[in-house]
């Protein structure tokens, strides 16, 4: 009983503390961006117009205010699921409806499916508002309602085809593999993620977008020469129809091993010169050269191993369930309930680790920028970044504390300043 009360208080304190910090950081960001809205920073006055600067400020403020609303709503939903008994109510309803006729595994899968369905329904209005009001207002949205619904249906189908077998296997291991089930389950989870790196580029991504081979001969030759200099081999160079959904631009590597491929958004190719595209690609190659992707994967797998081990212990503690608002089943397995409670409560306790994760990511970005300046042109990379900041309406004047806590990429002023010694 004491452990249950302690967990309840700890969870409530972590949730309230993280909520307070999120609101404080967002309010700082809004005030800082608004305060600098009417003047372009000195370093950008020759390259960024006042109109573009103000548009970026307005977009940032609107998005941050909307983030406050979604954060408050998500916190209320989290409280409803846990301490107010929402998950307990759903668990009882699903158990009574499914367990007698279909058995323990079907009941637990039905509980996961029901939770996912309800959570998705609660989040859907915010996604609609973000896409069709905010992104539309600032000229970024290219999504039609037909495409939006099609994406929802395809996403649900892919999630069902991939997620249900994975969940069934992990739940089976939780019930049948003994005290070390969490180690076997972690191995399954790692294997699944590695498999996704292979099948995502060729099987899943084409369900949502069209990928055409890069047909610009001069650009292709430039890109292939860059990759040869960097010792990088890819399965192919592709252009993705990102403009079907958004005006935002990007480029990325995807895949693993022999399945690696380079993907350019069509919006990126329309906005940047060939030299700038080469510089952006050199930046992405820098991540591979410094093994950032591998390091992040190892870190994620290490953290997930600790998480599975912790779940393995918590799932056997009655106070873990009661402390988070759920009465454990007496005549049915509690594995799905334990999994959901762990996924719900974990982020509240892990929130304050995010500044460290963001700082590591920013350091990686600086390293990739330095590599790009060595392999291509620092001037072209700086020009590309400025165009992307402007086209994506990224503010040039973020709050420094907000940056340290959240930003996975350094702000424009820091990135461009770091490139100056590298020259053109």
33-57: pLDDT as tens digits: 999 999 999 888 888 899 999 999 9
pLDDT band at 236 (very low <50, low <70, confident <90, very high): confident
Domain-embedded: residue 77: yes
* Token pair of 253 as six digits: 């590597």
Q: What is the mean pLDDT of the chain?
A: 91
pLDDT score for 256: 62
Identify whether the C-beta of residue 312 lies closer than 8 Å to the C-beta of residue 179.
Answer: yes
d(CA 351, CA 363): 20
Domain-embedded: residue 31: yes
Domain housing 86: 1-141+282-424
Dump pLDDT digits (tens) for 184-209.
999 999 999 999 888 888 888 889 98
Domain-embedded: residue 115: yes
pLDDT score for 404: 94
Q: How many CB atoms neighbour CB 372 within 10 A?
A: 28
* Token pair of 318 as six digits: 């009655």
287 is in an annotated binding site: yes
pLDDT band at 422 (very low <50, low <70, confident <90, very high): very low
Does 233 score more than 80 pLDDT? no
Angle at Cα 76 formed by Cα 73 and Cα 78, nearest 5°?
A: 110
pLDDT score for 43: 84
Average pLDDT over residues 62-85: 96
Does 210 score more than 80 pLDDT? yes
pTM of the model as a whole: 0.90
**180-194, 249-263, 278-292, 385-399: which range is least confident on average?**
249-263
pLDDT score for 243: 81
Dump pLDDT digits (tens) for 331-369.
889 999 999 999 999 999 999 888 999 999 999 999 999
Q: In what order do the strands lie in the sheet with 261-265?
A: 211-213, 237-240, 261-265, 251-254
pLDDT band at 23 (very low <50, low <70, confident <90, very high): very high
Does 391 score more than 90 pLDDT? no
Verify whether residue 284 is a known catalytic residue: yes
d(CA 194, CA 161): 17
Identify whether the C-beta of residue 247 lies closer than 8 Å to the C-beta of residue 138.
Answer: no
pLDDT band at 421 (very low <50, low <70, confident <90, very high): low
* Catalytically annotated residue among 335, 369, 380, 399: 369
365 is in an annotated binding site: yes
Identify whether the C-beta of residue 29 lies closer than 8 Å to the C-beta of residue 402.
Answer: yes
pLDDT score for 419: 83
* Token pair of 199 as six digits: 């099948």
* Token pair of 96 as six digits: 């009574």
Mind giving me the DSSP string for 368-409? HHHHHHHHS-HHHHHHHHHHHHHHTT--SS--HHHHHHH-SS
pLDDT score for 255: 62
* Catalytically annotated residue among 123, 151, 241, 284: 284
Local structure of residue 327 (DSSP, 8 states) = P
Average pLDDT over residues 116-142: 94
Run of H or E including 84: none
* Token pair of 333 as six digits: 């397995």
On the 0-12 / 13-18 / 19+ scale of CB atoms within 10 A, 375 is buried
Listed residue (289, 269, 272) closest to 367, CA to CA: 289
pLDDT score for 333: 93
Average pLDDT over residues 302-309: 96
Verify whether residue 367 is a known catalytic residue: no
Dihedral angle of Cα 229, 233, 237, 243, to the nearest 10 degrees: -90
Domain-embedded: residue 116: yes
pLDDT score for 424: 40
Domain-embedded: residue 39: yes
The percentage of the chain sitting over the pLDDT mark of 90, rounded to a whole number, equals 63
Identify whether the C-beta of residue 251 lies closer than 8 Å to the C-beta of residue 384.
Answer: no
pLDDT band at 262 (very low <50, low <70, confident <90, very high): confident
d(CA 306, CA 302): 7
CA–CA distance from 287 to each of 359, 362, 364, 384 (Å)? 15, 12, 7, 17
Q: Torsion-angle region of residue 325: left (phi > 0), alpha (psi -120 to 50) or beta? A: left
Domain-embedded: residue 89: yes
Pair type for strands 237-240 and 261-265: parallel
Identify whether the C-beta of residue 253 lies closer than 8 Å to the C-beta of residue 260.
Answer: yes
Residues 6+ apart with CB under 8 A from 65: 26, 30
Domain-embedded: residue 234: no
d(CA 30, CA 358): 20
d(CA 342, CA 346): 6
Q: How many CB atoms neighbour CB 294 within 10 A?
A: 11
> Domains in the chain: how many in total?
1
Tally: H helices and E strands in the chain: 17, 4
Residue written as token pair 């390091």 = 295
Domain-embedded: residue 203: no
Phi, psi values for residue 263, rounded to 5°: -125, 125
pLDDT score for 122: 97
Listed residue (377, 343, 362) closest to 415, CA to CA: 362
409 is in an annotated binding site: no
Identify whether the C-beta of residue 241 lies closer than 8 Å to the C-beta of residue 266.
Answer: yes
């Amino acid at each position: 009983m004491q452990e249950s009360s302690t967990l309840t208080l700890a969870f409530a304190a972590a949730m309230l503390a993280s909520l307070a910090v999120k609101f404080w950081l967002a309010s700082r960001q809004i005030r800082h961006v608004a305060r600098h809205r009417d003047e372009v920073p000195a370093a950008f006055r020759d390259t960024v117009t006042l109109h573009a600067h103000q548009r970026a400020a307005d977009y940032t403020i609107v998005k941050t205010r909307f983030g406050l609303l979604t954060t408050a709503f998500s916190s209320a939903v989290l409280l409803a699921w846990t301490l107010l008994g929402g998950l307990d109510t759903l668990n009882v309803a699903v158990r009574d409806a499914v367990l007698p006729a279909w058995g323990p595994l079907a009941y637990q899968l039905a509980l996961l499916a029901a939770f996912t369905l309800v959570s998705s329904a609660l989040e859907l209005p915010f996604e609609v508002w973000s896409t069709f009001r905010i992104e539309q207002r600032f000229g970024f949205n290219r999504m039609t309602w037909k495409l939006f619904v099609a994406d929802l249906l395809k996403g649900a189908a892919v999630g069902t085809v991939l997620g249900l077998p994975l969940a069934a296997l992990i739940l089976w291991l939780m019930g049948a593999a003994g005290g070390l089930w969490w180690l076997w389950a972690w191995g399954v989870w790692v294997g699944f993620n590695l498999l996704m790196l292979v099948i995502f580029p060729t099987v899943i991504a084409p369900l949502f977008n069209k990928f055409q081979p890069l047909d610009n001969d001069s650009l292709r030759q430039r890109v292939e020469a860059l990759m040869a200099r960097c010792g990088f081999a890819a399965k192919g160079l592709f252009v993705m129809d990102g403009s079907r959904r958004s005006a935002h631009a990007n480029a990325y590597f995807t895949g693993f091993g022999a399945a690696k491929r380079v993907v350019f958004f069509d919006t990126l190719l329309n906005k940047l010169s060939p030299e700038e595209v080469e510089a952006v690609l050199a930046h992405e190659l820098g991540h591979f050269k410094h093994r950032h992707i591998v390091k992040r994967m190892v870190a994620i797998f290490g953290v997930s191993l600790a998480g599975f081990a912790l779940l393995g212990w918590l799932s056997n503690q009655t106070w873990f369930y009661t402390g988070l608002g759920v009465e454990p089943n007496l005549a049915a397995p509690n594995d799905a309930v334990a999994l959901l409670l762990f996924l719900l409560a974990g982020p509240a306790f892990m929130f304050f680790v995010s500044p460290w994760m963001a700082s590591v990511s920013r350091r990686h970005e600086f390293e990739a920028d330095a590599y790009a300046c060595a392999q291509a042109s620092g001037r072209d990379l700086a020009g590309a970044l400025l165009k992307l900041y402007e086209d994506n309406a990224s503010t040039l004047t973020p709050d420094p504390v907000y940056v340290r806590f959240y930003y996975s990429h350094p702000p424009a002023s820091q990135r461009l300043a770091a490139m100056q010694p590298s020259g053109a």
